[in-house]
Amino acid sequence: MFFFKHIRPFHVLVARVDAMGDVILALPVCGIIKKYYPDCKITFLGRTYTKNIAEASVHVDDFLNFDDWHNMTSEEISSVLNAKKIDTVIHLAPHKIVLKQCWHAGIKTRIGGSNKIRYWLYCNKLVPFSRRKSRLSEAQLNIKLLSPLNIRVIPARNEVWKYYGFTKIAELNQQKKKLLDPEKINLILHPLSNKNAKEWGLHNFSALIKLVDTNEFKIFITGSVSEKEILAEWAAQHRDRVTDLIGLLDTEQLIAFINAADGLIASSTGPLHIAAAAGICTLGLYENSWTKRGERWGPLGKKAGFLECINDDMDTITPGMVYERMSKWSKEK
């Protein structure tokens, strides 16, 4: 399983049924495949809430919704996969249902890592590597899985962003577009992470808001519908310095608004990676635990970077440190 004949794919299914950030970091896989096999069709298997993200990449030709599979029999799912004539699947995560279903459908080339028993059960091309011990970013680790397709060159960390193809972005509606100030740096603060990461803390975001020169920056606060109630009282404290968009943007319009803005600051969460892929100034605020550090999960973009805390204490990233980084930003994309 570790020694591969040259495989030429004609229709690849890239499977990542996780969160927004995971899907963004999977898109370079699609871009790399298109670089080596420009005529290859790529279908992305994701979730309802990541559909707009996958479809924003020019490298994704089609989308399959994993959520639809819950109401389908195994035979019905196999019929869908076989009708699309998918000959290769790249499993970017060891999701048992996805692995088993692609095996059941008889997809000819099923690629996974060698680090999980599930891959051994359902894949016929195994790539030896460990995510846990690697110093590569998540996106680079994903690209390593393409070696059975005779793709063995992994782009450098500062080159990965070139393979997002994140340009098929919906138009921002006029009401939200009018909120942006063409004379200022439009800055988005996304304080929560839906509990997907260790957060910087509202007290630190408050201190940062007070530091920001509102003659130079216009500040927007974003968050999901479920976070609106949590953030309502806090956001109200800063109503004279920020524009509150919490819970007011669906995924499609969130992507469009981020793309139209100039900068975004957040912990390790989906909007952070959207900003990096869109090419705007991006600053991630990260813990320093081995499995969640910025080196592995940080944003990868032309104008993206991150700060990492010390000894797992997010307060060691001070508002002054963040302001110093963002004070160097400009409106140029």
Q: Beta-carbon neighbour count of residue 259 at 10 Å? A: 21
Distance CA 294, CA 274 (A): 16
* Of 91, 282, 53, 280, residue with least CA distance to 170: 53
> Any idea of the CA torsion for 104, 110, 111, 113, to the nearest 10 degrees?
30
The helix (run of H) or strand (run of E) holding residue 77 is: helix 74-83
Query: What's the pLDDT at 196?
Result: 83
* Of 163, 185, 186, 165, residue with least CA distance to 257: 186
Residue 131 has pLDDT above 90, yes or no: no
Q: Beta-carbon neighbour count of residue 189 at 10 Å? A: 22
Q: What are phi and psi of 220, to 5 degrees?
A: -120, 140
Query: What's the pLDDT at 168?
Result: 98
Query: What's the pLDDT at 186?
Result: 98
What is the reported pTM? 0.96
| Local confidence band at 133 (pLDDT 50, 70, 90 cut-offs) | confident
| Local confidence band at 330 (pLDDT 50, 70, 90 cut-offs) | confident
Residue 4 has pLDDT above 60, yes or no: no
Query: What's the pLDDT at 1?
Result: 52
pLDDT in tens, 197-242: 899 999 999 999 999 999 999 999 999 999 999 999 999 999 999 9
Query: What's the pLDDT at 331?
Result: 65
pLDDT in tens, 68-120: 999 999 999 999 999 999 999 999 999 999 999 999 999 999 999 999 999 99
- Average pLDDT over all residues of the chain: 95
Give all domains of the chain, ordered by start, each with its CATH number.
11-163 (3.40.50.2000), 174-326 (3.40.50.2000)
Q: Provide Rg for the chain, Cα atoms.
A: 21
The helix (run of H) or strand (run of E) holding residue 306 is: strand 304-308
Determine what percent of the chain is predicted with pLDDT higher than 70: 97
Query: What's the pLDDT at 300?
Result: 98
Instruction: Over range 251-276, report the average pLDDT.
Output: 98
- Cα-based angle 198, 295, 42 (whole degrees, multiple of 5): 100
The DSSP bridge partners found for residue 284 are 266, 306
Q: Beta-carbon neighbour count of residue 176 at 10 Å? A: 17
Residue 195 has pLDDT above 90, yes or no: no
* Of 253, 323, 160, residue with least CA distance to 261: 253
The DSSP bridge partners found for residue 313 are 310
Residue 5 has pLDDT above 80, yes or no: no
Under 8 Å between Cβ of 81 and 69:
no
Give how far the C-alpha of residue 133 lies from the chain's centroid of Cα atoms, to the nearest Å.
21
